[in-house]
Structure 1
């Protein structure tokens, strides 16, 4: 990788402050190393729509490349509250979409002996009523002083208004230990902030359950998470041995690691898809000697009772390659097949019932199967070859979209337009720079093509765009984060 050219930008680290600009009462730090603060005039206002159904591009932020970046370290973007986020192995960066001058950054590690080998997408949760971004990193600590090397999973909860860590949990791994430790998947509970992070290496798997309330983590060996809610983890358990056909699902108390229910699906392989508030969703395969093919099935498991609902995908396993799913943080989970070529499929689950609610394939005729980019509060954001489209998460039907012309007043009323409320400075470490400054807004980097957002909140959406070579130079930018404001 080439060395990064310094990006000329003003970096404002909002350490120890809330969503509105605040100043220290005394101008000096307290014993905890944080500033005491008092309220000042309100921050700029911005309309919000829940969920947003139309957007206009508002900002373009460069994500600098850096020397020594690993091949698999691809920047991921996210949207939590009024913060547009991007994360990579070096850490998490947040841009305030209401006040573009606000920028904060949190390192993934302070120790030079610790390396990062995986990171989750930013997850949006609430902690004590605050909009909080959660990220988890797979790390390898090479040892410090007399300490032995160890693999671990680090989870951070960051208040997006202040850019401060509310909590941090580091969980050493014993069931999965390897320099090639990577993150398989992650599930989250937006109401409690609890997360379940799946890690894998060399055929071994485990889940790390972490809770911001207790600030503790638990390693759950030999499962991958399908859902987490109110401390309960639903996990996919592999076969006891090859061709045993005894893989299934377990319900686990996350804090203690105790298995409370075993659900033997009697499959050859069970893979987690996504979790809602009431169900975990899974994809399974079982070899059929009669057809000499893998028979695929879809399962949902009730997190309270362990009740199972079985349904069938529209494609064969060899055509779909499995599925990738997204929860809308309300009552729907939408899935798209993984295979890059061949037939395509899209379908949705109802989290209330656990049943498959709708779906179609490219072989059905009549409709194009789009790429799913995000889902939020009843709306699925998808991209066709020609344009971004909105779908009803409950039915899969197209929704009208009304992107207004320049200068046109957007239709509909915002759900809230007031400035964010003041709050006390949260506990935890202050914002930190990961060593590579993120640039300020530079619309010359935007290529002019608005696409479906990769992440959405009531304050807007964000998507990643490859650099086009202008402005700072394509060799020095890994990605351009395009922020969109909601207009309807």
Structure 2
């Protein structure tokens, strides 16, 4: 039976550490109060953490302001790194510290008036010099200055989420640009981002509109925050990166050659260290892990006018290949999209918008398929995967958010705020699911019965009047909670001024 992930009652915890907005609260411990007594700096309010979280309560709704000149396809990109909820668009990346909501920062995507942003990746959690960092990549076009020709760029930023300061930044030319606007020939687009969570290294797939990219239309940009250098590998799209090794899909040498395979590449130099033939006609990289890169391949049979599909994993150290058969045909699946839990599990679902559905899980340690089922299987609903983190898959069904075990694909029981499984035999929240104790709103944390929409705003920018009351599965998770996006609704800020609403889920178990 499917179990609910988020309690139906949203705790209106505004996370402001509300003390009435008294500026004196920020005085140092060396100061004294009006009675001459030694004053101490108030402690930052605590937020519980669980690794991984298995239950949440809605705790904050941050408005994402619209901005002049925003492109139609500039959808917000969301992330959760440590205790910071993140939202990005073409303008830049904004962080909201959920433990100390007074800490809000924004890093612009570009400071040059001549630069236009045409794409952005999700902000991803990595470590840089032991710090919790977000890495994000932008596709940009520099219109040129003086005699400089317009060129397409891939900009990568690593940001210390605790301070909101850039730890590193690398800008890499990838194409020439002919014309203006985000649809101009040569404007780069980002196909995927592979990352190493322990080193912060990234491998970014990039393609250019038209054939104006140097030597090839597709390429991989490898970038390292330690060296602050990058390498462009032409013709290859990345499937994984770990400890400087990039695995990428190498296309057919010519049409109908059927020789698409995988290359292992030294990221720092761009040198190919191993060629792995897979004899595919079409090969697409999926999300990779720390030990294996994953790919989806098809072979076209002209005699039967059909395609045979296969899933491949490639060991990043040895090049060993494991082949798996998907449950759906190439026509029905449309390929696959995958999510890594940053430990040892890769979970994939079919990419087709309509038709039969499939979900399957791989073990990153072995590269083998461990479980899976389709919508044609009896007794189970194929959910929509929204995130995966440390052994848990967060999914959404038509009725509710649900948890799955990343190793087995089985439903996990709904957890109570105390950390023990709910004793309820149905999908309704039980008494144990209701926040209690420190998880309950108290005093200044909750709006009064006569509160207006403006009263529900916190000093940290949260406005719970924007929350639509419909909890959803998080799209990004850390031990400090999860986030998802919601269309603007309600009062307070004014939905016409907003692009989106960033909803923060506090973990309760």
Match of 2:489 among 458, 465, 468: 468
1:245 aligns to 2:266 (yes or no): no
User: C-alpha distance in 1, partners of 2:479/2:176?
Assistant: 40
The reply on whether 1:156 has 2:169 as its aligned counterpart is no
Structure 2 unaligned regions, length at least 5: 1-25, 29-40, 179-184, 212-216, 417-431, 440-458
Residue matched to 2:272: 259
Partner of 1:80: 81
Distance 1:176 1:307 in 2: 39
Aligned to 2:123: 122
Counterpart in the other structure of 1:455 = 476
Determine which of 462, 467, 484 is the counterpart of 1:446.
467
Q: Hey, what does 1:64 align to over in structure 2? A: 65
The 3 A distance-change label for structure 1 pair 44 and 224 is same
| Paired residues for 1:398-437 under 5 Å | 398-403=411-416, 404-408=432-436
Who is 2:137 aligned against?
Answer: 136
Q: 1:342 to 1:394 in 2, by over 3 A?
A: same
Structure-1 residue corresponding to 2:191: 184
Corresponding pairs, count: 428
Q: What is the Cα deviation at residue 44 of structure 1?
A: 2.7
- Residue 483 of structure 1 corresponds to 504
**Structure 1 vs Structure 2 CA RMSD:** 2.1
Write the distance in 2 (CA, Å) between the matches of 1:449 and 1:113: 42
Write the mapping of 1:1-400 to structure 2, written as runs, cut at 5 A: 43-174=44-175, 178-201=185-208, 202=210, 204-400=217-413
State the shift of 1:76 in Å: 1.0
Paired residue secondary structure (2:287) = strand
2:141–2:177 contact (8 Å) kept in structure 1: no
Question: In 1, Cα distance between the equivalents of 2:44 and 2:358?
Answer: 44
2:78 partner SS: strand
Alignment deviations for residues 394-449 of structure 1 (CA, whole Å, 9 cap, x no partner): 110000122554443599xxxxxxxxxxxxxxxxxxxxxxxxxx981000000001
> Between Structure 1 and Structure 2, which shows a larger proportion of strand residues?
1
Give distance in 2, aligned partners of 1:291 and 1:175.
Answer: 41
Deviation at 1:362, TM superposition (A): 0.2
The alpha-carbon deviation at position 42 of structure 1 amounts to 5.0
Q: Distance in 2 between matches of 1:317 and 1:22?
A: 64
Rounded Cα–Cα distance in structure 1 between residues aligned with 2:235 and 2:491: 48
The 3 A distance-change label for structure 1 pair 41 and 166 is farther
The C-alpha deviation readout for 1:319-346, integer Å capped at 9, x for no partner, is: 1111110000000000011111110000
1:176 offset after TM fit, Å? 9.4
Aligned partners of 1:52 and 1:486 also within 8 Å: yes
**TM-score, normalization by structure 1:** 0.84
CA distance, structure 2, for counterparts of residue 379 and residue 407 of structure 1: 22
Tell me the distance in 1 between the aligned counterparts of 2:360 and 2:27: 47
Structure 1 stretch displaced more, 358-367 or 461-470: 461-470
Distance 1:455 1:93, change over 3 A: same
Q: What is the rounded CA distance, in whole Å, between the counterparts of 2:106 and 2:189 in structure 1? A: 23
Deviation at 1:279, TM superposition (A): 0.2
SS in 1 for 2:387: strand
* Mapped contact 1:176–1:206 kept (Cα < 8 A): no
Residue deviations 1:287-331 (CA, integer Å, cap 9, x gap) = 123532111100000000001000110001111111110000000
Structure 1: segments with no counterpart, 5+ residues: 1-20, 24-39, 412-437
Q: How far apart are 1:22 and its partner, in Å?
A: 11
Q: Distance in 2 between matches of 1:100 and 1:481?
A: 14
Q: Work out whether residues 452 and 463 of structure 1, in 8 Å CA contact, stay in contact via their aligned partners in 2.
A: yes
Q: Secondary structure at the match of 2:331?
A: helix
Following TM superposition, by how much is the alpha carbon of 1:144 offset from its aligned partner in structure 2, in angstroms?
1.8
CA distance in 2, matches of 1:402, 1:351: 27
- Alpha-carbon separation, structure 2, partners of 1:304 and 1:50: 29
Mark the CA change 1:354 to 1:157 in structure 2 (over 3 Å): closer, same or farther: same
TM-score by length of 2: 0.81
| Alpha-carbon contact 2:177-2:186 (below 8 Å) kept | no
Give the 3-state SS of the residue equivalent to 1:363 in structure 2.
coil
